[in-house]
Amino acid sequence: MLDRSKIGHEFAPFTVEIEKGRLRFFARAIGETNPIYVDEAAARAAGHATIPAPPTFMFSIDLEGPEFLPIVKLLGLDIPRVLHGSQEFDYLAQIYAGDVITQTSKIADIFDKKGGALEFVVVESVYTNESGEPVGKARQTLVYRSS
Amino acid sequence: MSKTTVGTKIPALKLPAISRTTLALYAGASGDHNPVHIDSDFAKKAGIPDVFAHGMLSMAYLGRMLTDWQPQSQLRKFSSRFAAITHLQDIISCSGEVVELIERDGETLARCSIQAAKADGQQTLIGEALVAI
């Protein structure tokens, strides 16, 4: 059983600069064809200040912390038994290249189903830009197989 | 563009077959370096036949479908459940439709049911989006 006392655990906040080249790389890796995600002039022509981060890029911010997947160590997870169960994003403002985003996250819940054969870990994150404006929220559910 | 209403279909997005290159590039670009997606030696040692796709790659494909349909500035909420694993060579198609119109905070939101599925119809991601129209 995963340690239920970790419910409410807050991970150390961290700050990430959203790099333009990284956004272009991400857009190409997902096969994006809309030029606003790779070309600054196209982005401006569409009314953006610069290249926007695509909708799921917030998840990549989570992976930029000082430690890769800190939850693995915190809960003592065996990586091959972890599956991504679900993911949810709320959009409050657009994230752009050049933004400096601070991510804070916590373990919102840990519960089990099927008599403990599957455990679920819910992590909630909030993203704030350099002006202190909240730009998004995320809720991630990991599924952990007991064997 | 015709008026968006309940039953309006989101133009579908069909992707090329998932290859090891797709996964390697997505791992690098997304920062998700979990070896189960890129290192077949690691996968085999862990008792998994081979590497498999990141769920978030298919969610990014769903995101592409949504922002091809409406500008990203209209997107309010986007969620997905990962229902089945996407394997190498799977051909993923994204589709969706408006299932409800909701008035909230002075705007009309289209609640869309969205999905990613393999060529044989098996759903891999089942989700929802709220898009201002």
Return the pLDDT at B2.
62
Residue A114 has pLDDT above 90, yes or no: no
User: For residues B20 and B54, is the Cβ–Cβ distance under 8 A?
Assistant: no
d(CA B62, CA B74): 15
Its CATH class, for the domain covering A4-15+66-145, is alpha beta
Task: Please answer whether residues B74 and B91 qualify as being in contact, where contact means their C-beta atoms are separated by less than 8 angstroms.
Answer: no
Q: What percent of chain A has pLDDT over 90?
A: 88
Per-residue DSSP letter, A117: T
| pLDDT tier, A115 (very low <50, low <70, confident <90, very high otherwise) | confident
Q: Is B58 helix (H, G, I), strand (E, B) or coil?
A: helix
Q: How far apart are CA A73 and CA A79, in angstroms?
A: 10
Q: Residues of A with CB below 8 A from B48's CB?
A: 80
Sheet holding A14-17, edge to edge: A14-17, A100-113, A118-128, A134-145, A82-91, B75-82, B123-132, B107-117, B93-104, B9-14
The verdict on a CB contact (< 8 Å) between B63 and A26 is: no
Contacts of B109 in chain A (CB under 8 A): none
User: In the predicted model, what is the mean pLDDT of residues B105-115?
Assistant: 97
Chain A residues in contact with B81 by the CB 8 A cut-off are: 85-86
pTM of the model: 0.96
Nearest CA-CA distance, residue B80 and chain A, Å: 5
Q: Which residue of A has its CA nearest to B29?
A: A26
Confidence of residue B3 (pLDDT cuts 50, 70, 90): confident
Task: Please check whether residue A67 touches B, CB under 8 A.
Answer: no
**Looking at domain B9-18+54-132, what is its CATH homologous superfamily?**
Hotdog Thioesterase (3.10.129.10)
pLDDT tens-digit series, residues A7-19: 999 999 999 999 9
Alpha-carbon distance of A55 to B60, in angstroms, equals 7
Which chain A residues have a beta carbon less than 8 Å from that of B73? 94
Question: Where are chain A's structural domains?
Answer: 4-15+66-145
d(CA A15, CA A113): 35
Q: Does B82 touch chain A (CB under 8 A)?
A: yes
Q: Mean pLDDT throughout A23-40?
A: 98
| A31 near B CB under 8 A | yes
- The minimum CA-CA distance between B116 and chain A, rounded to whole Å, is 14
Residue A70 CA to residue A73 CA, distance in Å, equals 6
Contact B30 A31 (CB under 8 A): no
The whole-angstrom separation of Cα A59 and Cα B39 is: 21
Q: Domain-by-domain residue ranges, chain B?
A: 9-18+54-132
Nearest Cα residue in chain A from B66: A55
